[in-house]
Amino acid sequence: MQTPEIYELIDLDRYPLNDLDSEAGQSLIAETHASLEKAGCCSLPGFVRQPVISEMAAQASSLEHLAYSGPGEVTPYFFNYNLGQGVEVPDDHPIKRKGRRNLAQVATDLIPQQHLLSMLYYSTVLPDFLGAVLKQPVYRNQDKYQSLNISMMNAGGCQQWHFDSGRMVTTLLLQEPDAGGIFEYVPELRSDESENFKQVQRVLDGDTRRNQQIELKAGTLSLFRGHYSMHRVTEVKGNRTRIQAILGFSTDPNHKGSLDSSILHYGPRVAELEGR
Ligand SMILES: [Fe+2]
């Protein structure tokens, strides 16, 4: 049962998540579904109302001292060491190509439950909506550290070209930077059948022909199939921090990430907490 306050966070005139069975609700679901199928992504600008998003950003900013930088150089496949294991590849092969990653993340367990972002994430509103869009039940991830994250990028911040391990990622931009920090992607670059290393290498070498960009504004909720579409965030410019929340949902009711990955991304305190 929803507490009524949750709906005060969302622009219900544009996104009637309180009444998905209505005509407007059904057409929102259909449009979102179609956009995901066609383009592999869907942006919902102004999803979180303006005064609310400013407050969410302020609350997130107050956690910046808890954000951990993690690795500064990463391949497009992160730490999927199984990929290409035992195979001899040249140094310029995508599985060996590291790109610069300059951001810091606040792990789930460090985000207070009473923050507006937590209120949104832990309500049933988003899983219900995403479930309707994907036409199957959707659950919050169950990982202590990875489920809900806040990613911070200051001037010079960026994220290297990469594929996500999850099938779909849901993000909410809390604060846009003065300039740069643009989300760029290459749709459907790989598939379950093929890693398509040749085309991946071309993009890493600077071929921009298939690149698409989305200029996100604070308050935009984005759904993105980052498992197949390689993507990056261009360098942030100016003084204002780019702040983005990553909201982990899955069709697996028990989804958890690996502890190795959590230690790498959130730091030695996780190893300590987990007795490693
Ligand atoms: Fe990603």
pLDDT by residue (tens digit) across 230-247? 999 999 999 999 999 999
Domain that holds residue 58: 4-273
Q: Which two tokens stand for residue 242?
A: 């780019």
User: pLDDT tens digits for 37-59?
Assistant: 998 999 999 999 999 999 999 99
Find residue 214's DSSP bridge partners.
Answer: 183
Of 131, 145, 153, which is closest to residue 69 (Cα–Cα)?
A: 153
In the predicted model, what is the mean pLDDT of the chain? Answer: 94
Looking up residue 127, the CATH number of its domain turns out to be 2.60.120.620
Distance in angstroms (rounded) separating the CA atoms of residues 203 and 199? 6
Q: For the packed helices 125-134 and 23-39, what is the interaxial angle rounded to 10 degrees?
A: 60
The pLDDT of residue 3: 47
- Please give the distance, rounded to the nearest whole angstrom, from the Cα atom of residue 153 to the centre of ligand 1: 14
What is the phi/psi pair of residue 89, to 5°? -130, 150
Distance between Cα 23 and ligand 1 center (Å): 33
Domain count, the chain: 1
DSSP state of 218: T
Cα 22 to averaged position of ligand 1 atoms, centre (Å): 33
Mean pLDDT, to the nearest integer, of 148-165?
96
Residue 96 DSSP one-character state: G
Residues with Cβ within 8 Å of 53's Cβ and at least 6 positions away in sequence, in order, are 174, 218, 219
Distance 163 CA to ligand 1 centre (A): 6
pLDDT at 146: 96
| CA 43–ligand 1 middle distance (angstroms) | 15
- Angle CA 195–196–197, to nearest 5: 90
> How far apart are the C-alpha atoms of 36 and 125, rounded to whole Å?
19
What's the mean pLDDT in 201-205? 96
> Strand order of the sheet with strand 183-186?
159-162, 230-233, 183-186, 212-214
What pLDDT is recorded for position 89? Answer: 85
Q: Token digits for 212?
A: 């698409």
Ramachandran angles phi, psi of 145, nearest 5°: -110, -30
Please tell me the distance between residue 5's alpha carbon and the centre of ligand 1 in angstroms: 31
Spatial distance between the Cα atoms of 36 and 225, rounded to a whole number of angstroms? 8
**What is the share, in percent, of the chain residues with pLDDT greater than 90?**
88
- Model confidence at 92, in pLDDT bands (50, 70, 90)? confident
pLDDT tens for each residue of 19-43: 999 999 999 999 999 999 998 999 9
Compute the Cα dihedral for 119, 19, 132, 227 and give only its sign: negative
In which band, very low, low, confident or very high, does the pLDDT at 91 lie, cut at 50, 70 and 90?
confident
Q: Per DSSP, which regions of 107-234 are E strands?
A: 139-140, 148-153, 159-162, 169-175, 179-180, 183-186, 212-214, 221-224, 230-233
pLDDT tops 80 at residue 181: yes
How far is ligand 1, taken at its centre, from the CA of residue 233, in Å?
Answer: 9
Quote the CA–CA distance of 101 and 93 in Å, as a whole number: 19
